[in-house]
Amino acid sequence: MTTDAMNAAGATAPAASPPDPARRPAGPTTLPTRTERPPAAERRRTTSTVRVTDVYAVTGAAAASLSLTWLFFTRLAPFSGALGFVVLAYLLFLALYALLVSFDEDGPAVRDRIASVIVHSLAVLLLTALSFVVVYTLWSGRKAFPHANFFTQDMTKAGPLDPLTAGGMRHAMIGTLIQIAIALTLTVPAGLLCAVFLNEVPGRYARFVRTVVEAMTALPSIVAGLFVYATVILALGVPLSGLAASLAISVMMLPIIIRAADVVIRLVPGTLREASYALGSPRWRTVWHVVLPTARSGLTTAVILGTARGVGETSPVLLTAGVTAVTNLNPFSGPMVSLPLATFEFVKSPQPAMVSRGFGTAAALLVLVLVLFVTARVIGGRGPGELTRRATHRRVLASRRDRKRFAERAALRGPAPAPAGPAPALSTSPERDPAQGVDGS
């Protein structure tokens, strides 16, 4: 086909029609979007081990056991007595609780629930007994507390028939403070040194010492009193005095301090010791500057626990201190009474006033021991190396003083000399030196 024919065909072909505006969409083409749903509320998982079914099972078993026990004691069997009622109700409670739990759980889970119920029951029983002892002692000693002379006078001018307005426990309080002070002077250095030895010098001898300390922890207090009485009073001829009582109390306090301090020193990270040794410090300096400061709060707790144990001891003091009604400030001569011994002597009397003095003395001793244990709990709640607010404040002040001292030292030295200028850069280009010849020679 020639060019003229092709041009003729193109001229006769119909031109393409433009698109119809009516068929064109009015706006931009968009895809239909799906309606977004609001996010569902987050369902939190509970970490509690107590479920609603457990509460229902315990409540139902308790109600059923009380009902069946009441039925047995009143209708079905000739049972009587409060103790028998409590024991039978508790046994029925355990059986019914195991039956209810077995409907939803298997054998190991049932046994686990029964063991948990028994443990919690024993804990409630011990807490109830402790609360009864504390409340009964404080309530029985309420008659002596309102009298100021009970804290400021001794029994020199008061007899068994005198009212509570005469006499007091001043001699017992002073005796307790003197005896505990002497016992702490003996036991704190020895206990801390022994605990450091058990941790820093391991070996067969250390294991032997740890075994002896653990055995002494369960030593009866009367045995400690008999030991001091036989060795110090009978063999050495020391009279009944506050010193002998302090020695007997020290025998009871020493294993408590050693065990508690041993456990605390074990918690000190070994990396701190390794860092100190890596810097060239000897063992004694590592213990003095790293181990003991890190475990300071725990060691304080150990000392307070040992003090609480020694304050409440009666049997060793009964055999070694002697009994007196006057205030004795000399622990090396004459009998010296403490709070436990005064309580024992007051309660022995059949007179109501003396019994009230005895319960008042016991209440004061109880409050003292509770304060010591609470203090130990508060101090021991901090971890190794954790500082109190006061210690943190002191550290901040020390940092400020150091910063001020560094600033003053820098001001005395004057401003630092400015650099002479940038060093000439080395040429890395292959350009030729003008001083050289054409051939670079």
pLDDT at 116 over 70: yes
Lowest mean pLDDT among 120-124, 217-221, 377-381, 426-430: 426-430
Burial of 199 (0-12, 13-18, 19+ CB in 10 A): buried
Q: What confidence score (pLDDT) does residue 41 get?
A: 63
Tokens (6 digits) for 346: 């007051």
pLDDT of residue 383: 56
Averaged pLDDT, 290-309? 86
The count of other CB atoms within 10 Å of the CB of residue 319 is: 22
Q: Is the pLDDT of residue 322 over 50?
A: yes
pLDDT at position 72 is 86
How high is the pLDDT of residue 378? 76
Least confident of 5-14, 85-94, 252-261, 390-399: 5-14
Number of neighbouring beta carbons within 10 Å of residue 113: 19
What is the mean pLDDT of the segment spanning 230-241? 89
The percent of residues in the chain predicted with pLDDT above 70, rounded, is 80
Q: How many residues does the chain have?
A: 441
Confidence of residue 180 (pLDDT cuts 50, 70, 90): very high
Q: What is the pLDDT of residues 394-423, one digit of tens each?
A: 888 888 998 888 888 888 887 766 665 555
Residue 30, pLDDT > 60, answer no
What tens digit of pLDDT does each residue of 275-289 get?
888 988 888 888 888
CA gap 441, 437 in Å, rounded: 6
Calculate mean pLDDT across residues 34-46.
62
- Distance CA(153)–CA(172), nearest Å, equals 10
Sign of CA pseudo-dihedral 337, 339, 340, 345: positive
Residue 155 is which amino acid?
A: M
In this prediction the pTM is 0.66
Asked if 365 contacts 342 with a C-beta cutoff of 8 angstroms, the reply is no
* Residue whose token pair is 């401003």: 415
**C-alpha of 183 from chain center:** 25
pLDDT at residue 262 above 60?
A: yes
Phi, psi of 54 (to 5 degrees): -65, -40
How many angstroms separate the Cα of 411 from the Cα of each of 398, 405, 414, 417, 419? 20, 10, 5, 13, 19
Which of these ranges, 271-280, 319-328, 384-393, has the smallest mean pLDDT? 384-393
Three-class SS of the chain? CCHHHHHHHHHHCCCCCCCCCCCCCCCCCCCCCCCCCCCCCCCCCCCCCCCHHHHHHHHHHHHHHHHHHHHHHHHHCCCCCHHHHHHHHHHHHHHHHHHHHHCCCCHHHHHHHHHHHHHHHHHHHHHHHHHHHHHHHHHHHHHCCCCCHHHHCCCCCCCCCCCCCCCCCHHHHHHHHHHHHHHHHHHHHHHHHHHHHHHHCCCHHHHHHHHHHHHHHCCCHHHHHHHHHHHHHHHCCCCCCHHHHHHHHHHHHHHHHHHHHHHHHHCCCHHHHHHHHHCCCCHHHHHHHHHHHHCHHHHHHHHHHHHHHHHCCCHHHHHHCCCCCCCCCCCCCCCCCCHHHHHHHHHHCCCHHHHHHHHHHHHHHHHHHHHHHHHHHHHHCCCCCCCCHHHHHHHHHHHHHHHHHHHHHHHHHCCCCCCCCCCCCCCCCCCCCCCCCCCCC
The one-letter amino acid at 33: T
Contacts with 269 (C-beta within 8 Å, 6 or more apart), sequence order:
384
Lowest-confidence region among 137-141, 154-158, 382-386: 382-386
Q: Could you tell me the sign of the dihedral formed by the alpha carbons of 154, 159, 165, 166, in that order?
A: negative
